[in-house]
Every structure is written in C-alpha cells, then in structure tokens.
Structure 1
Amino acid sequence: MASRRLLRRLAALAAALALALPLAACDAGTAHQGSIALLLPDAKTARYETFDRPVFEARVAELGDYRVTYANADGDAAKQQQQAESALAAGTDVLVLDPVDSRAAATIVSQANAQGVPVIAYDRMVEGGRLAYYVSFDNEKVGTLQAQALVAGMDAAGRGDAGILMINGSPTDSNAAQFRAGAERILEDSGLRVLAQYDTPDWSPDKAQDWAEGQITRFGDEIAGVYAANDGIAGGAISALKAADVTPWPIVTGQDAELAAIQRIVTGDQYMTVYKALTQQAERAADVAVALVRGEEIAAPMQVDGIPATLLDPVPVTVHDILNTVVADGFWTVDDICTAAYESACRAAGLLPPAG
C-alpha cells in the first residue's frame, strides 16, 4: 500500500482528470502532445507498482496531455523485448526503460536509436546502445551503507568476528554488481567471515529463502549476519531463519524501505534497510521524458560514462531513523507502519507514545 500522502496526491490527480473528461469528449479530434513508454522489470519488488509507476504517471499528467503506455516484464527479458518492440511499433516518442537484463536490453536501445527514439535508463544502466539520460541512485554507496550497518550491528552484538551469508541481487542486474562491490569493500576490512554467497536469480525472495535454508543446515549458529541486497531477499532469508529457529538472531540488511521491511525493523527481525527517494527518482524521469518529447535541452548535474545523469543519495534506516527518514518524507506514515499487529513494537521503538 502506498503512503497516505502519495495516495492523496494520486486521488487529487484522478479527480482532476475526471473533471477534464467532458472537455476531452467534446473535442474528440484533440491528440495527445506525445507518448511515453514506461517499461519496468518485475512485480516481485514491491516498489515498482507501489511507487515508481503511479508517481511517474502522475507527474507526466501534471506536465501536460501526454499518453503513458506501461508494461511490466515480470522478470522476463524476452517479454520486455517484445513490450519495447510493441511500444516502438505504436510510435512512442520516448522509452523509459528499467531493464530486466542490463546486457540484453542493449538490443532495445539499439532498436530505439535506429528509429530516433530517445531512451532513458531508469534505475539500472543499460550496457550498450546510445542513452539519452540515466536516472538512478549512487548504487555502490547503497552497498557501502548496507555493509557498514551490518558491521556496526554485529559489533554492537559482540559478534564482530563471526560468520555471515551474502545474498546478492540478480546476476543480470548491473546495479546488483555495484551493491556487492560497495559492500565487499567494507567487509574485506571488517574481520567478518563470509561463509557463502549467492546471486539471486530475478531478485526472487523464494529463491533466496531456498538458498538460505540450505546454508542454515550447513552452518547453523555460525550465521551471525545476513547481507541481503534488498528487502524482498531479506524477507526470504528471515523466513528461513525463523523456520530453523536460529539463535541468537542474526543481523539482516535490506534495501528499498518496503513497508514490510520497516515493520520487520520495528519488531527486530530486520536490522536495517536503505531508503531511496523513489518519488524524486520517478518525477525526475518524468520531467526528462516530457522534455525529450518537447525537444528541449536537458541540464544534467553530472555524467556517468558520458551519459547525462541524475544520481540520488541513498539513506540508511535502522529503528532509530524511521521517524526522521521515511515518515518525515511521507514515504510511509506512522499509521501505515503501526497497524494493530505492530502496535506494541511501535511503542517500544518510540514510534507511538507509551500506552496509558
């Protein structure tokens, strides 16, 4: 469920669009100012349907009468290829592409280039073709923040020389390699022992859980921490740890500040996540896409491999940071987090006042 602030914003937009419908109906010949295709990679990662898509569509609608066609590839690179080809055949003016497979998606970019259609790489870089813009986060920093929190949490628990599992992201995601690189730089000097590591196909929580179950059988209570590359993977690992009743409870990282992850942090099942301002990311991509449709020059704060880019800063979140990060930004509200099942934990964590 999206944050209430975002839901109110989207509801207001829907109302405005509803009021505009009679005017559009009176002039059936009025054409859109242009079309934009938004291609997202999967539905297993909650953020895409909860934040990225609705925020992007809302921002485009605020900027003018542009048609947004949307497709989710469900983790299938071949399906995403077909979706891109359909969008290009339909005459889209701009592609906003978050690739399932960063290398395979170079074909999509090349096809768009051949038709003069600019491509924005969204969240993940595409390894080939000519990109018009890149919007993402500092991905190596994400891994650095995760590993720093993991080390700090294990030091605080008095297990600074213990063993950890590394459950990385998808091997076809260029970001996953950057997360891992940032984390490994910290872990190499930490004194922690990496017992085993795994690249999770399709970022699948189920596959992460299955792998973690095997490692728990193998290593048992040697596992004092789990580097989990995102919150979905963290959820899978935590399910495996709970099923095996692992004690003492390991330190577990994450990323994306999913609601379920924030609630796990409140209860102590997950130690941290990384909050990324997805609203800013989606709105920046929408702004750039509309500017490209209009043929406007785009000012970029930096370049990445010669590509104009915006890289936003990730922020670590432990139980002590929830109020001044995700709640302060309106990403989640206290009411979103502190449902009846979490009320007691929320009071203990200081998100709600003491009872009575």
Structure 2
Amino acid sequence: MKKILALVLALALVLSCASALAAKVGVSMPTKDLQRWNQDGEYMEKLLTEAGFEAELQYASNDVPTQLNQVETMIDDGCEVIVIAAIEGSSLGAALDKAAEKGVKVIAYDRLLMDNANVDYYATFDNFKVGVVQGEFVEKALDLANAAGPFTFEFTAGDPGDNNAGFFFNGAMSVLKKYIDEGKIVVTSGQTEFADVATPTWKTDVAQKRAEDILTANYADGKKIDAWVCSNDSTALGVTNALEDNYDVDTLGWPIITGQDCDIANTKNMIAGKQSMSVFKDTRTLAAQVVKMVGQILAGETVDVNDEETYNNNVKVVPSFLCDPVFANAENYKTILIDSGYYTEDQLQ
C-alpha cells in the first residue's frame, strides 16, 4: 500500500509539474514601430519558452481596439497570466475585468494600467529616476549650480496616454525647475508644462514637427539653444532631425540632447556627437524579472515586489518591481551596450 501511495504521489507531482510547465502566458506589446518593444517582446518570449511556458506574443500596431481584442483572445485561449504593455493605460478595462472573472493574473509591463482594480502587479524601471538622471546629466554638463547663465532650453515630453511620461518629465523638472524659477534657464518658446510639450504616441515625426515649429518661431535669428531635454529616443530623434534642417549646428554646435532607450539610431547619433546621452533601461533585466514573477504567480509563491507605495492607478496602489536605470553616452556606450552583449559593434556602424 505504501508503494502504491508513493507511486500515486509521484505521479501527481509529475502531472503537477507538467501542468505548470505547460501553462500559457500572454504577452501583449503595443507596437513594432519602436525598436525597444520588438526587443522586449522577443526577449520575453524567449525567456518564457526557456522556462517551459507556452508564450503567446502579440503586437497591437498602436491601435487600442486591436490590443483590447488581442488581450481578450489571450484570455479565451487559456492564458493563465497576461503581461501587458499598454498603448493607452486606461483603455483596457473590459479585458482586465474579463481576466479577473476568469482568474487570469495581469502584470502591467513598463506602462501602468490605469483606472481598474484588476491589475495584479507592475514591473518597470524607476521612471521618476529616469527623468532625474536626464536632468542631472544636463545640470552637470552645463554646471548649472555654479555657472551664471542664462541658458536656453526647450523640452519635449512623451505620450500623455502613457502614465510613465509624466514621471519622466516630472523627474527631469525636479532637477531643473529651480533653475527656471531663478531665471538661469530660459525656455524661449515658453512651453514648460507637460501638456504643452507632450508627444502623442511618442512618434518621431510628431516631435520633429513640433520642434520645427519652435525653431521657426523662436530661433530663426540664429539664437543658440543650450539644451533640449527629450524624454526618450524616438522624440529625441525627431528633435535631432529638426535641428539638422532648421538650425545652424555648424556654427552654433549641437545643444545637449537627452533621450531614453539607447535605440540604435540614437546611439549612432551619440557616437556622432549629435545626441548627448540616453538613459539605458536594460530590458533584458526587466523581462527576466517579469518571467520570474510569472513563475512565482503560477507556483503560488510570494511575488517579488520592491515598491508598494508609488504607483497608484487611480483605483489602487499596484504592487511593483522597479529596476534601476543608468545612462549611456559617447564615452561609456561600449561598456554599457557592447561589452554587456546588448549590441554588437557591427550594429552601431
């Protein structure tokens, strides 16, 4: 009898492990238009597969109804956990409600899902710190604490539909606003509020058009720009494109331009002296953390979080895991990006 019981228990354990290994996990990414989402999706799919899960990866072409439909289909397909990087944080309520009804756990990935209680966890980088890193880089580069000034600045922020965009902008402003108030920083366009400097869907061409308008209206007389604080690389690329065609960089030099994500085009611009820095959020670290959280959820274990205070989605404070960002520039990009295996030398030629 003891042998039979042992065999039954062993068989149950094998079946339990097989069930866990066969668990399906949905990954909903916003778009393939930005390099980073391709990297995030592909790397997470790879890690999930290596961990023994069945991964269902979808990209939503920056179309909210498409993402809503994709997430609902993942639920119908039997996904037990769904990881969502939202196009617009408040637009997936119906899918989140459906997930809760079906017992499906939801992890918000790098963009907080807003206005719904059915968000179980959030995994991201310290988004306020991203902005702080950008602000401190500019502060140090211009020696704002000691230099007389005034210095001329412009700002380009991110998508108002992305909860992170406000954190990035406010983080940078936490460093720079005092210099604006003192008159040491002068924003010639007068655009210093998030609503005025935001870039819908983070699009390069939208950022470029706004930058061109600012340059035409405020800098046609050859006035120098000391810094243009951009929240990420797609917007920084738009600003750089506008400056190349509408600003005398040969005479005035490039302003300090910040960014985020270390996209290939922007890293090449850093090497060429056009963009000054980009905050590097190693998405391999974030993806690995999310896969770990997925495993903990499915195993019924305590899920790793390190922040249970900051990220309120207007309904609840979502338990979060925050990874630390660093910055890359022309001096350290080889160590940060190439030596770590994130890019090869050939990709940056």
Q: Into which bin does the TM-score normalised by the smaller protein fall?
A: 0.7 to 0.9
Structure 1, 126-135 or 96-105: larger mean CA deviation? 126-135
Alignment equivalent of 1:192, drawn from 185, 196, 199: 185
In the TM superposition, 1:164-313 aligns within 5 A as 164-190=153-179, 191-194=184-187, 195=189, 196=191, 197-220=196-219, 221-247=223-249, 248=252, 249-304=254-309, 305=311, 306-313=317-324
Match of 1:101 in 2: 88
Note the alpha carbon deviations across 1:77-123, whole angstroms, 9 max, x for none: 22211111111122211110111111223443222112211000111
Match of 1:149 in 2: 137
Aligned pair in 2 of structure 1 residues 238, 120: CA closer, same or farther (>3 Å)? same
State the 1:224 CA deviation: 2.6
Runs of 4+ residues deviating >6 angstroms = none
Note the alpha carbon deviations across 1:200-221, whole angstroms, 9 max, x for none: 0111001101111100101113
Work out the CA distance in 1 between the residues paired with 2:141 and 2:66. 41
Greater C-alpha radius of gyration:
2
1:162 aligns with 2:164: no
Aligned pair in 2 of structure 1 residues 81, 152: CA closer, same or farther (>3 Å)? same
State the 1:155 CA deviation: 4.1
Match of 1:78 in 2: 65
Work out the CA distance in 2 between the residues paired with 1:136 and 1:177. 14
The one-letter amino acid paired with 2:238 is G
Query: Residue 95 of structure 1 contacts residue 117 of structure 1 at CA under 8 Å; is this kept in 2?
Result: yes
Note the alpha carbon deviations across 1:275-298, whole angstroms, 9 max, x for none: 111101011112222332343332
Identity across matched positions, percent:
27
Alignment equivalent of 2:55, drawn from 58, 63, 68: 68
Alignment equivalent of 1:126, drawn from 113, 126, 131: 113
Aligned pair in 2 of structure 1 residues 142, 159: CA closer, same or farther (>3 Å)? farther
State the 1:300 CA deviation: 2.8
* Number of aligned residue pairs: 306
1:35 aligns with 2:27: no
Match of 1:20 in 2: none
Query: Residue 47 of structure 1 contacts residue 256 of structure 1 at CA under 8 Å; is this kept in 2?
Result: yes
The one-letter amino acid paired with 1:108 is A
Work out the CA distance in 2 between the residues paired with 1:299 and 1:216. 47
Note the alpha carbon deviations across 1:154-202, whole angstroms, 9 max, x for none: 449x894222221100000000010011011111123212332421011
Work out the CA distance in 1 between the residues paired with 2:248 and 2:164. 30
Give 5+ residue unaligned stretches, structure 2.
1-17, 312-316
State the 1:35 CA deviation: 0.8
TM-score with structure 2 setting the length: 0.82
Query: Residue 44 of structure 1 contacts residue 204 of structure 1 at CA under 8 Å; is this kept in 2?
Result: no
1:331 aligns with 2:335: no
Query: Residue 216 of structure 1 contacts residue 223 of structure 1 at CA under 8 Å; is this kept in 2?
Result: no
1:135 aligns with 2:117: no
Work out the CA distance in 1 between the residues paired with 2:148 and 2:135. 15
Query: Residue 215 of structure 2 contacts residue 247 of structure 2 at CA under 8 Å; is this kept in 1?
Result: no
The one-letter amino acid paired with 2:200 is P
TM-score with structure 1 setting the length: 0.80
Work out the CA distance in 2 between the residues paired with 1:106 and 1:325. 38
Work out the CA distance in 1 between the residues paired with 2:101 and 2:226. 52
